[in-house]
Structure 1
Amino acid sequence: MTRVIKARHLFTALVTVLALVPPAASADAGSTPLTGHGHGHDNDQARWTGTWESAPSGTAPALPGASIRNVVHTSVGGSAARVRVSNRLGTAPLQLDAVTVALQEWGRPMSPNAAPGSLRVATFAGRRSVTVPVGQDMVSDPVDLPIPADANLLISVHTPADSGPATYHRSAFQANFLAREGDRTADEPGTAYTVTLDNWYYVTGVDVLGAPAAGSVVALGDSLTDGTGSTSSANRRWPDLLAARLRALPAHRRLGVLNAGISGNRLLLGSGGPSALTRLDADALSRAGVRAVIVLEGINDIKGTPEQKDPLAIEDAYRRIVERAHARGIRVVGATITPYGGYSAYTESREAVRLTVNAFIRNADLFDAVVDFDAVVRDPADPHRILPAYDPGDHLHFNDTGMQALADNIDLDTLLL
């Protein structure tokens, strides 16, 4: 197993993140709006740990009158849950008149059925309905349901009216479900959910209470992190596989894993969802219990249209990410950009930019640690390409074996101080 990790000095100080909660709000109410810019850390954050995340990548047409059953996979468990719903990219207030949480029936990852007796109603400031302002997220009250680690949850929402474009995550790589008419959120049998969706609608996170963990780690990335190339509905993205490794650790070293990957995402431009710099607070730094962020971003800046020809611009983006994370006492692990020789957008000039950026990641002493994904997956016989055993066929993304190689080569000791 090849590992290339570089540890950096410890922070000189940790900055306490203050909660932006109105004075009259209870710390446990969970219904405080969170803005799309990441403000709104909860002052009881130490009690809550992020177990799952979906980063908003764009909008889709609203589905008024429909019920959507989102299937999400936990990384760590807890004694209760709270759900984050989002209107971050919408243009009108979002009305949800019912939100429920349930365990998916065991052993059937492509089923809309809830495990008997597990379905719970999620409330917002004690109410079953919620209106989410434009550009904001809302967090539910605690839902009294024990949440297992490494399990699928069903987060069902009903939209009674057309609230305009729906904030969603485009590429879920997970079967989700739609019931075309009526509020079916409280249905345990999923027979009304006759349509399969490839996206997550409105739901952007799940936190758990009292997790046997030290916090969470965020994987900030593009399609390589989002899961392109891995087996759908099987949770074989590299952050999922990293979560499996972390679950084997003692509780004081264990972390929840939050996947903030968006297919097509870039560091600098808003292509494939908001840029990494734009969404950093909302998708990474403000999530519950975050201790570290792993950054695997940059290939779309290099190969996209317009392409970023200046490595210094990409390097500056990394500096800004690290500065903002360190200001909140959060560690940053930099990942080198993986090869893409043979992909349609590959050129020698773009490859030169990738190699220059990778040299910066390895040698600039910017990050708290470095994981050299490039060295892990490249073909020794042709270093501009990934190993055939890791290639799903497009010469850019990774199959399940490649995803496992990425997860296996992260030094877990670098994720905590």
Structure 2
Amino acid sequence: MIGISVLLSLLGAVAPAVSATNNLVGRAIRPDPPNGHWIDTWASMPQLTEPANLPPAPFNQTGTVFVNATIRQTLHMTVGASQIRLKISNAFGLTNLPITAVTVALPVNGTAGIHQVQASTLQKVTFSGRSDISIPNGALAVSDPINFKIKPQSMLTVSIYLATGQTTNSITSHPGSRTTSWWQFGDAVSAPALTVSDPKTQSAAHWYFVSAVEAWVPRSTGTLALLGDSITDGRGSTTDQNNRWPDQLLARLQKNPRTRNIAISNLAAGGNRILADGLGPNALGRVERDILAHPGVKYVLVFEGVNDIGTAAPTVDAQAAVYSGLTQAYAQIVTRIHAFGLPVFGATITPFSAPANFTGQPYSDPEREKTRQKVNKWIRESGVFDEVLDFDAVLRDPQERKAQAATPQTPQPGPPPTTSPPPTTTATVPPATSSPNPYHEAVVEAPTSAPPPTTNPRSPLLKPLPPRLPHPHPPRHSPQPHPLAPSHPPFDHPLAHQPTAPNAIVDFDGKNDPYRPINWSTRKKVVTTALYGLCTMSASWASSSYSPGTSQVAARFDVGEQVAVLGTSPIVSTAFVINPSLGWRWTEYFTGILQLFVLLLGVLFLDESYPPVLLVAKARSLRHSTGNWALHAEFEEWDVSIVELARKFLIRPIQILCTPICFLVALYASFCYGILYMQLGGVPIIFRQLRGWAPLPASLPFLCVFIGAILGCAANVYNQFLYNKAYRLAGNRAVPEKRLPPMMVGSVLFASGQFLMGWTAAPHFHWICGAELSR
């Protein structure tokens, strides 16, 4: 899990820019696969559809909507997955919602707001094995899991067909979709494109009935849930462009390997308030439904309050009541969310004051501005929130406390402007757009300029909290890596008050976690492999390096000449320590020096690479840094007994060896090692016993063996390049037959060389024959 500080830095950095039917085979799977959990990769806040946002005629008949109609809508995914499922909501319907058929597909070119889909990706959606479902009023339906691959920041098209429609005008939707949806008569859920030439086919920027898309992801992946109003819902953003400030935050999260496992669940609605219902239930009343009832939430951001201030009367008493109510409500929201072990971020309220000659900002009032300042001061200094995101500090004019001089402030962060006014001119402000709804936030579009992103890793959006008074939830500390853990980027975990539930298992932060050895840099992998190879070589050396001096050892201790083990070490040659000036003892001295050198290299530069041990070290560090002693690695749950150890390390190897494939491979490997050791053992016999060479010259033919090994490695590297090319040409499929040619040639050359080496061992053959053939 990434550090909260990293997530907050990214939040701070994004604020300035706040700106063919035959393939329709339902592939529902059950049960869920192991080692994962469901999270929202997309979600929206269900709302009661206002009359102005109901579908127009003919899709809205008297008392019934969407009769014999297909609704096709595109949704912006946040994280990728290979399995998804849908949630269909009838939260505000007064009658049952009869769903006849649902499909999912990828839109053409991955474009938002279009009606065309990639026909090859169409899949049927089922609910408990059936394609249709009737959802009672106030209820929610969850589809069966679907094998459907989505990528981060990609678009998903969901098509819903209602044969009989919903017999009420009280329906569930999310009007602030900022994404175009399409309606067509008839069952067109499996159609690659809708018939837009039909005048009855219509479109509008609303979402209906779909409330979430869940993704099956590793447990290290979680969701940042946003509790907000139109600022977060996307007021001021561009339709079908997905450039709300949460969308821009998502793009930044996906660029950072440490935060790619954070999804965003945008549970905001225009006009939403904290203390009273506006457009949708008040924030206090929807914490359970919109935050706690969603799976996989790991962080919560509360970014509301501007509508409570802006819709209250601009009097001292009314604004005092709003301040008192907001601060109490914030504390209540945090307390309820903390009970589920989730960290809560608080966001300051953005500026909304306008110049004296501008009337297009309905919230602008000195008394309301005082309340905003007081509320922001409380958010920053109370210590109720785990962290504070200071949107106010970023969006206001640095030279002014409350407003810019040239352009009115607006609480609507949007996409960055495409053009800027000349330095010597004053930016013009578009006229206000009237709205019949009193709860719509400021109607002025996004400001024409904003402070540029800071180069400081911690943006000015982040205001450090003052020292806290005793708090039921202890403050967090920056976790320090365990001293025995490899030197990788630090890891983090939820707050200390995270529930000590059985699922508090420490794991890698997704497949791209740099803490995983498979994700180490190429340089580190090469160094680690070389060190392991050096360790293996030194072990073989120690077991066989004295073999050239066995005659001296036998004479000294009056024993027979026995070569105990012949390993790869003669390739390096120990002739220099067995010549008469040094003697056989230096063979052992040098072996000890070599072993000590290899040991020091391993201790200094060889990092642990066994995943269970790494996770145990990570869990130990997190327990100390967070104070949550329930955190543990899965490996630590194993209560291993002596019997289990004996079964694992004594009996299991025998069982594995008895399997046909393992036995045959072991037999073949034994034969190859026998040939290798026979050759290495034959060199001293040929050149010392048969040819009568001295120990030093008799070891030099091993250099020929060493050269042959280098040539063989070079041939393998070249063949690997050829294999990689064949692999790509085969569509990234394995082509094992392409590895056979060098093996076939090498087997003939090896057998011939062994035969000729023995044939030319007699002294009357020139010594070069045996030396060269030993390669």
TM-score with structure 2 setting the length = 0.46
Secondary structure of the structure 1 residue equivalent to 2:257 = coil
Once the 2 structures are TM-superposed, how far is the Cα of residue 353 of structure 1 from its aligned partner? 0.9
Which amino acid letter does the alignment assign opposite residue 187 of structure 1?
A
Once the 2 structures are TM-superposed, how far is the Cα of residue 28 of structure 1 from its aligned partner? 5.3
1:312 matched to 2:324? The reply is yes
From 337, 359, 377, the counterpart of 1:325: 337
Which amino acid letter does the alignment assign opposite residue 341 of structure 1?
S
Cα distance change on mapping 1:84 and 1:406 into 2, 3 Å: farther
Cα distance change on mapping 1:189 and 1:407 into 2, 3 Å: farther
Give distance in 1, aligned partners of 2:249 and 2:411: 20
RMSD value over aligned CA atoms? 3.1
Once the 2 structures are TM-superposed, how far is the Cα of residue 281 of structure 1 from its aligned partner? 1.5
1:126 matched to 2:140? The reply is no
Corresponding residue of 1:347: 365
CA contact under 8 A between 1:339 and 1:378: conserved in structure 2? yes
1:169 matched to 2:159? The reply is no
Give distance in 2, aligned partners of 1:45 and 1:197: 40
Cα distance change on mapping 1:107 and 1:130 into 2, 3 Å: closer
Which amino acid letter does the alignment assign opposite residue 240 of structure 1?
D
Which amino acid letter does the alignment assign opposite residue 89 of structure 1?
F
Give distance in 1, aligned partners of 2:117 and 2:372: 46
Q: Deviations over 1:301-359 (max 9, x none)?
A: 00115676221100111111111111111111000000001222211111111111101
Corresponding residue of 1:259: 266
Cα distance change on mapping 1:405 and 1:416 into 2, 3 Å: farther
Secondary structure of the structure 2 residue equivalent to 1:127 = coil
Give distance in 2, aligned partners of 1:406 and 1:92: 50
Once the 2 structures are TM-superposed, how far is the Cα of residue 50 of structure 1 from its aligned partner? 1.1
Give distance in 1, aligned partners of 2:142 and 2:202: 27
Cα distance change on mapping 1:119 and 1:282 into 2, 3 Å: same
Deviates more, 1:263-272 or 1:155-164: 155-164
Once the 2 structures are TM-superposed, how far is the Cα of residue 248 of structure 1 from its aligned partner? 2.2
Corresponding residue of 2:46: 56
1:101 matched to 2:116? The reply is no
Which of structures 1 and 2 has the bigger CA Rg?
2
**After superposition, where does 1:258-407 map in structure 2 within 5 Å?**
258-305=265-312, 309=319, 310=321, 311-342=323-354, 343-385=361-403, 395-401=410-416
Cα distance change on mapping 1:300 and 1:225 into 2, 3 Å: same
Give distance in 2, aligned partners of 1:185 and 1:414: 44
Secondary structure of the structure 1 residue equivalent to 2:232 = helix
Once the 2 structures are TM-superposed, how far is the Cα of residue 57 of structure 1 from its aligned partner? 2.4
CA contact under 8 A between 2:306 and 2:349: conserved in structure 1? yes
The structure in which a higher percent of residues are helix is 2
Aligned residue pairs total: 378
Cα distance change on mapping 1:69 and 1:394 into 2, 3 Å: farther
Corresponding residue of 1:23: none
Give distance in 2, aligned partners of 1:138 and 1:29: 17
Which amino acid letter does the alignment assign opposite residue 81 of structure 1?
I
Corresponding residue of 2:672: none
Which amino acid letter does the alignment assign opposite residue 67 of structure 2?
P
Give distance in 1, aligned partners of 2:405 and 2:123: 46
Which amino acid letter does the alignment assign opposite residue 259 of structure 1?
N
Cα distance change on mapping 1:212 and 1:155 into 2, 3 Å: farther
Once the 2 structures are TM-superposed, how far is the Cα of residue 129 of structure 1 from its aligned partner? 0.7
CA contact under 8 A between 2:107 and 2:114: conserved in structure 1? yes
Corresponding residue of 1:191: 195
Q: Deviations over 1:220-239 (max 9, x none)?
A: 10000000011111111111
Corresponding residue of 1:19: none
Once the 2 structures are TM-superposed, how far is the Cα of residue 394 of structure 1 from its aligned partner? 7.7
Cα distance change on mapping 1:45 and 1:56 into 2, 3 Å: farther
CA contact under 8 A between 2:353 and 2:409: conserved in structure 1? no
Corresponding residue of 2:677: none
1:159 matched to 2:162? The reply is yes
Give distance in 2, aligned partners of 1:319 and 1:50: 26
Secondary structure of the structure 2 residue equivalent to 1:384 = coil
Give distance in 1, aligned partners of 2:324 and 2:493: 27
Give 4+ residue runs of structure 1 displaced > 6 Å after superposition: 402-408
CA contact under 8 A between 1:214 and 1:252: conserved in structure 2? no
**After superposition, where does 1:239-258 map in structure 2 within 5 Å?**
239-250=246-257, 254-258=261-265
Corresponding residue of 1:40: none
Corresponding residue of 1:39: none
Secondary structure of the structure 2 residue equivalent to 1:339 = coil
Secondary structure of the structure 1 residue equivalent to 2:326 = helix
Which amino acid letter does the alignment assign opposite residue 214 of structure 2?
D
CA contact under 8 A between 1:376 and 1:406: conserved in structure 2? no
CA contact under 8 A between 2:75 and 2:112: conserved in structure 1? no
Give distance in 1, aligned partners of 2:347 and 2:35: 27
Which amino acid letter does the alignment assign opposite residue 299 of structure 2?
A
Structure 2 unpaired stretches of 5+: 1-5, 10-28, 55-59, 355-360, 417-445, 463-490, 496-775
Give distance in 1, aligned partners of 2:91 and 2:66: 17
CA contact under 8 A between 1:369 and 1:414: conserved in structure 2? no
Q: Deviations over 1:360-404 (max 9, x none)?
A: 10000001111000001001233323697xx7x883312302799
Cα distance change on mapping 1:340 and 1:394 into 2, 3 Å: closer
RCO higher in 1 or 2 (8 Å CA, sep ≥ 6)?
1
Give distance in 1, aligned partners of 2:106 and 2:393: 39
Give distance in 2, aligned partners of 1:66 and 1:415: 47
Once the 2 structures are TM-superposed, how far is the Cα of residue 162 of structure 1 from its aligned partner? 3.6
Secondary structure of the structure 1 residue equivalent to 2:82 = coil
Corresponding residue of 2:12: none
Once the 2 structures are TM-superposed, how far is the Cα of residue 213 of structure 1 from its aligned partner? 5.3
Once the 2 structures are TM-superposed, how far is the Cα of residue 266 of structure 1 from its aligned partner? 0.1
Which amino acid letter does the alignment assign opposite residue 176 of structure 1?
S
Once the 2 structures are TM-superposed, how far is the Cα of residue 104 of structure 1 from its aligned partner? 1.0
Once the 2 structures are TM-superposed, how far is the Cα of residue 244 of structure 1 from its aligned partner? 1.2
1:221 matched to 2:239? The reply is no
Which amino acid letter does the alignment assign opposite residue 362 of structure 1?
R
Once the 2 structures are TM-superposed, how far is the Cα of residue 126 of structure 1 from its aligned partner? 0.6
Q: Deviations over 1:195-224 (max 9, x none)?
A: 111100000110111258520101110000
Give distance in 1, aligned partners of 2:278 and 2:144: 34
Cα distance change on mapping 1:415 and 1:65 into 2, 3 Å: farther
CA contact under 8 A between 2:254 and 2:260: conserved in structure 1? no
Deviates more, 1:198-207 or 1:297-306: 297-306
Q: Deviations over 1:10-34 (max 9, x none)?
A: xxxxxxxxxxxxxxxxx9579xxxx
Once the 2 structures are TM-superposed, how far is the Cα of residue 191 of structure 1 from its aligned partner? 3.0
Corresponding residue of 1:16: none
Which amino acid letter does the alignment assign opposite residue 171 of structure 1?
G
CA contact under 8 A between 1:54 and 1:169: conserved in structure 2? yes
From 241, 254, 263, the counterpart of 1:234: 241
Which amino acid letter does the alignment assign opposite residue 338 of structure 2?
H
Cα distance change on mapping 1:45 and 1:281 into 2, 3 Å: farther
Give distance in 1, aligned partners of 2:274 and 2:347: 13
Cα distance change on mapping 1:288 and 1:366 into 2, 3 Å: same
Q: Deviations over 1:96-155 (max 9, x none)?
A: 111111111115333211123111111111111111121122111101211111111111
CA contact under 8 A between 1:265 and 1:272: conserved in structure 2? yes
TM-score with structure 1 setting the length = 0.83
Once the 2 structures are TM-superposed, how far is the Cα of residue 189 of structure 1 from its aligned partner? 2.0
CA contact under 8 A between 1:58 and 1:170: conserved in structure 2? no
Which amino acid letter does the alignment assign opposite residue 394 of structure 2?
V
Corresponding residue of 1:66: 69
Give distance in 2, aligned partners of 1:250 and 1:119: 31
CA contact under 8 A between 1:100 and 1:121: conserved in structure 2? yes
